Amino acid sequence: MSSLEGVVIADFSRVLAAPYATMMLGDLGAEVIKVEQPGRGDETRTWGPPHYEDEATYFLSVNRNKTSVQIDLSTRAGREQARELIARADVVVENFKPGTMKKFGLDYESLGRDDLVYCSISGFGSGKGAELPGYDLLVQAVGGLMSVTGPGPHEPVKTGVALVDVLTGLHACVGILAALRHREATGQGQLVELDLLTVLLSSMVNQSAGFTLAGAVPKPMGNRHPSIAPYEVFPTIDQPIVLAVGNDRQFRRLCSVLDVPELATDPRFVTNSDRVEHVDELFELLSARLRARPAQHWFETLTPLGVPCGPVNDVAHAFALAESLDLNPTATIGDMTLVANPIRLSRTPVTYRLRPPKLEQ
């Protein structure tokens, strides 16, 4: 038996944040019925390359364990069909522009079901920010993430994936599961609302708290950490590596391996705070030693000593690493290899029952 077996989700979502959430719930056993626009479907069906055969891998990445039904919500018949679907659902998930579902009479209040869990995801909330477009790149910009990402203040950089969407999808899962638990105890559903902006502000954790608690406005530091050193990318003879030295003991071990034990007693570097203050000098001294050997040598030498270190892998090498550690990073459905759900449950493991649906299904 799966964790969410018997839970039915009417999924009116598209693109990334909400489809990621509903896929995660589908992996946990929920029955997910994805509602798509007739003839077009989810926008991400056309977001390629790359493609798997004739399907966009973007769409395939977040839509397994779902069936698909085409409903034209602009018609009376389509809205009635949607209501029939919702009538047998435990959960509704939607991420249309705020007000869209109300226009169709399919919003939480209009449905009037006290036992329904209804999750709405927007870019900037349903109030004063309702008219703002909820695109991940836009939120990364106005939400402050790009201001702390990149080599310097004049070169803001987005993350290499739509991270805010993914984080919002995960927060949506938490909210939906909490609401289902409450319904199990009381019989009452509720409205679960999330917006990309406040999810991002929450997810920036120490950077956000530095502002709210100390008034510190963080700036981009490239690959460095504002509070830890050495904690960045270093050159080697062949490829970059990362050192993530989190305490003084690890630093002393690093200095010993690099044959510069005197750095561990140098007044500039004795404590972490000292090292952060003199991070430029530290980088030059460590780089001079690390350039002498390949990245793999340092990885194999430092890791057994408890010094966090590793090469900067591409995605292919990252999957290979996970495979070598028996982490099983992929899942197979038919002839399709997808990224595995990372949640491992001992009694009710995730399942991979359905490939992402084709539009005609």
Active-site residues: which are they? 165
- Which amino acid, 62? V
Q: Say whether 88 sits in a helix, a strand or coil.
A: coil
DSSP 281-334: HHHHHHHHHHTTS-HHHHHHHHGGGT--EEE---HHHHHHHHHHTT---EEEET
Residues 133, 123: contact at Cβ < 8 Å? yes
The strand pairing partners of 156, in sequence order, are none
Spatial separation of the C-alpha atoms in residues 22 and 19, rounded to whole Å:
5
Sheet containing strand 241-244, strands side by side:
231-234, 241-244, 309-311
Residues 157, 141: contact at Cβ < 8 Å? no
Query: Residue 187 gets which letter from DSSP?
Result: S
Query: Residue 75 gets which letter from DSSP?
Result: S
